[in-house]
Structure 1
């Protein structure tokens, strides 16, 4: 009788000893079941979304699709990703999109090249070492899209003015709806390119140094892509009253620097139109190109504070920007203040 009590105590102690492990095992089983349910629902949702996109005229093809990521993520992998709408077709390399189970509306993607986009007339080809993107969404739609690429290279062919090519060390691109201008269907766009090498820019302003470019703009009437050619999409945007509000455009290329703010749109002849407030330094070569000769460029540069005297700075010193008269794009002409710049005619973009 004296030994019965200790035996009961031992049994109760073992029960509580194993209880946490049993509960942990049950939790792991429940979580595994839940993850496979979420996985199956993800596959169904993707199939439903692809079908809905197809009904809207946008065809997506995810080759050799797999869904993984157990236990805390959902990873969707396409060995190749293709898109088509109307005359426009695009293709990417291996694409992997990842979302946390507890944060399904924030998606991180890694996309391999090459990129090819064509509307039958204009073709864009691109490559990179690493491209990553993030998408933040809500029940109301897209909240933010961000893209970052290392060592991007791009070539555009089929343009009226010939092929355009460029490369850089790093590209960053961000888009979000403007919360204060929803009625205008406005999108805020911020982009930077570091150590960009663009032959057209070299020919325009001189020098072989890489350029650092920054853009911060708001695009109105940006209500989505309809699947037409680039010319058709631009015309729809123009006829809807779309414009680009330039909060800041800046470029630094060796001793040359320029900053611009203003507004641009397309006129009825499909030419750029609008007005820019520009500050610049070291652009006497560009002014010479615009005026058709070095003498004219140097004269105009001296009048605007851009001549050799203005550029005589210490090596490595930051160039001093000089405000230029307003730059107007009107009826196919380019004017600085009251003076029309000779030898410059703005051509239709399409």
Structure 2
């Protein structure tokens, strides 16, 4: 004869059976409430930040702003993003910024083109297939900004020398405050462009091969954008004693290669000034063109070209760079060792 199961035991067994599902439901409800609280606080923080920026003279406009990303992210989307400060305006296409709710100070941004920046005189226009950036911040401010762009194209108009254009396969840019040179308000910049096409460089050096560019520099007195024209910003930087420390600047174009280190600044006439240490290979015709075939230019041109000739038997070998006399930029003139390059006169940048 079967024995009946006690009712109390049955109830307790069912309670423990359903408890995990009840707890999961309560956790989901609590997380949803928390996400909407974070979303509202994000909107309030953005409004407060934009108001503070406006008081500082930087007017941001985020067209048709939406905040999404439930359940684990916060996504801020602007159908268009514009900035105006003083005479300078900048605009992007659709821009999306994403942060994980558990890592709010690391922001991933994706922006669509076109880009347009102008101060009323000089205009920069850019486009790309994909542009992404990551921003790492701390309570004290920016720690690091990294940016990548595929198939970037840029056009600069309004320059005294005329239009400047360029394009490339891939662009990478990394910016951070220099932790050991805070008193100088220094910032480190590392940038590279692969397979760049720059008509001005083609005309200067010769050849239509794509160029690979790499730069590793430190900019002092890099205390931010003040909102003036490009000329006004450069003048403020010059007056503050700003300097460009070139740790490495290199370009490779076919068999032509150049590497540069040194320091640049602007003189009182707004011309580049400073000294560069240069090593090069394959640029034998460059100085000859600049000097009109004069003896000093031809001698230096032969020195610039000795690397590829040494590797003529090994066409795929890396060119051997020849170190050149220091390149000096002084009083509007360009000098290399004892030779002043006669056909080159440095013009004011603004």
* TM above 0.5: yes
**Bigger mean CA deviation after superposition, 313-322 or 173-182:** 313-322
Q: Distance in 1 between matches of 2:134 and 2:307?
A: 45
For residues 182-204 of structure 1, give each alpha carbon's deviation from its aligned partner in whole angstroms, at most 9, with x where no partner exists.
Answer: 00000000000000000000011
Given that residues 284 and 297 in structure 1 are in contact (C-alpha distance below 8 angstroms), is that contact kept between their aligned partners in structure 2?
no
CA distance in 2, matches of 1:305, 1:148: 34
1:313, distance to aligned residue in structure 2 (A) = 4.6
Do structure 1's residue 218 and structure 2's residue 222 form an aligned pair? no
1:159 corresponds to: 159
Partner in structure 2 of residue 50 of structure 1: 50
Residue 298 of structure 1: CA displacement? 3.9
Residue by residue over 1:164-220, the C-alpha shift from the partner in whole angstroms, topping out at 9 and shown as x without a partner, is: 000000000010000000000000000000000000000111110000000000000
Q: What stretches of structure 2 of length at least 5 have no aligned partner? A: none
Root mean square deviation, CA, Å? 1.6
Contact 1:299 1:307 in 2 (8 A): no
Contact 1:93-1:114 at 8 Å conserved across structures = yes
- Residues in 1 aligned to 2:252 and 2:141: alpha-carbon distance in whole angstroms: 36
The answer to whether the 8 Å contact 1:172/1:191 transfers is: yes
Measure the CA separation in 2 of the matches of 1:248 and 1:309.
25
Instruction: Report the CA distance between 1:5 and its aligned residue.
Output: 5.8
Whether 1:13 and 2:10 are equivalent positions in the alignment is no
Where in structure 2 are the equivalents of 1:1-350 lying within 5 Å?
Answer: 6-293=6-293, 297-303=297-303, 306=306, 309-310=309-310, 312-350=312-350
Kept in 1, the 8 Å contact 2:144–2:174? The answer is yes
Specify the SS of the correspondent of 2:289. Answer: helix
Displacement of 1:301 after TM fit? 2.2
Q: Tell me how far 1:315 sits from its aligned partner.
A: 1.6
Is the alpha carbon distance of 1:295 and 1:317 closer, same or farther for their aligned partners in structure 2, counting shifts above 3 Å? farther
Distance of 2:117 and 2:45 partners within structure 1 = 27
The structure-2 alpha-carbon separation of the partners of 1:71 and 1:304, relative to structure 1 and needing over 3 Å to count, comes to: closer
SS, match of residue 306 in structure 1: helix
In the alignment, the residues of structure 2 paired with residue 313 and residue 276 of structure 1 have an alpha-carbon distance, to the nearest angstrom, of 31
Change (3 A) 1:308 1:14: closer
Kindly indicate whether the alpha-carbon contact (under 8 Å) linking 2:303 and 2:322 is maintained by their aligned counterparts in 1: no
| Distance change (3 Å), C-alpha of 1:264 and 1:56 | same
- Stretches of structure 1 lacking an aligned partner (at least 5 in a row): none
